[in-house]
């Protein structure tokens, strides 16, 4: 038992202490969070626009050109792997780009936008149709009713799943090593290659991911409880 504990201690020291390797994990985590946060913001913008495009209909009830384009976008993005999208962005579309973080943010933002679009669309459709009719009966235009009546109620519906989407996005950024970005996962791999021992670096990275995501999950739970309380008032 003592020999095993000494071995684990040496592995921990080699993976985290020697040469201040803990700084590599910290730097990698910074890249991971940076990409996830900016991609989430971009995804929210794209997703919201796509949701309204998809909800647009003509007076005869048929889909508009914008709705068709939104459907195509969502189908293509959701129907292809995110790692493949990232590689296409890096090696084909932005092959001469030097800022890998920018390319990663753009790729993950475009990917996240397709999922956010469905979340926002579902949140708007979950609002009772009577709310639109009530707004119109008060003299508000369709756009005003959407802005002042429907959207505020839809926000409560979309915030929890948007939070879950951010957690998923945070984990998906682990593939940025394919475009030579040193995120948390790639930092762990680099340390493993230097120590010739993969257990401690990879387990360490997994623990860091778990702690960060657990904190986000707890915060998301607090938000959901507050939203439920406001609904019960």
Percent of residues, the chain, with pLDDT higher than 90: 51
Please report which helix (H) or strand (E) contains residue 55, including its range: helix 22-55
Q: What does the pLDDT look like over 66-102, one tens digit per residue?
A: 999 999 999 999 999 999 999 999 999 998 888 889 9
Q: What does the pLDDT look like over 200-230, one tens digit per residue?
A: 999 999 999 999 999 999 998 888 788 777 6
0.85 surpassed by pTM: yes
**147 by DSSP, 3-state: which?**
helix
CA distance 138 to 134: 6
- Give every CB contact of residue 103 below 8 A, 6+ residues apart in sequence: 86, 89, 90, 94, 97, 179
Phi-psi region of 63 (alpha: psi -120 to 50; beta: other; left: phi over 0): beta
| pLDDT given for residue 46 in this prediction | 96
Average pLDDT in the 184-189 region?
92
| pLDDT given for residue 223 in this prediction | 82
Which pLDDT band holds residue 146 (cuts at 50, 70, 90)? confident
**Residue 115: pLDDT over 90:** yes
| pLDDT given for residue 233 in this prediction | 54
Residue 183: phi and psi, rounded to 5, are -90, -165
CA distance 181 to 104: 9
Count of residues in the chain? 233
**Residue 113: pLDDT over 70:** yes
| pLDDT given for residue 128 in this prediction | 78
**Residue 147: pLDDT over 80:** no
Which pLDDT band holds residue 60 (cuts at 50, 70, 90)? low
């Amino acid at each position: 038992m003592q020999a095993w504990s000494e071995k684990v201690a040496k592995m921990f020291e080699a993976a985290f202490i020697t040469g201040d390797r803990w700084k590599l994990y910290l730097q990698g985590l910074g890249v991971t969070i940076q990409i996830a946060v900016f991609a989430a913001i971009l995804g929210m913008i794209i997703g919201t626009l796509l949701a309204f495009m998809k909800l647009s209909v003509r007076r005869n009830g048929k889909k508009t050109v914008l709705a068709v384009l939104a459907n195509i976008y969502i189908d293509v993005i959701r129907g292809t792997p995110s790692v493949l999208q990232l590689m296409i962005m890096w090696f084909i579309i932005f092959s001469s780009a030097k800022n890998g973080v920018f390319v990663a943010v753009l790729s993950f933002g475009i990917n996240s936008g397709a999922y956010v679009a469905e979340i926002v669309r579902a949140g708007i459709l979950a609002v009772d149709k009577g709310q639109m009719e009530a707004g119109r009966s008060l003299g508000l235009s369709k756009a005003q009713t959407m802005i002042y009546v429907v959207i505020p109620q839809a926000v409560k519906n979309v915030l929890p799943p948007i939070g879950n989407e951010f957690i998923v996005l945070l984990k998906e950024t682990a593939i940025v090593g394919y475009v030579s970005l040193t995120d948390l996962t790639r930092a762990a791999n680099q340390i493993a290659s230097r120590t010739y021992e993969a257990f401690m670096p990879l387990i360490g990275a997994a623990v860091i991911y778990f702690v960060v995501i657990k904190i986000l999950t707890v915060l998301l739970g607090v938000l959901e409880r507050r939203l439920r309380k406001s609904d019960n008032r």
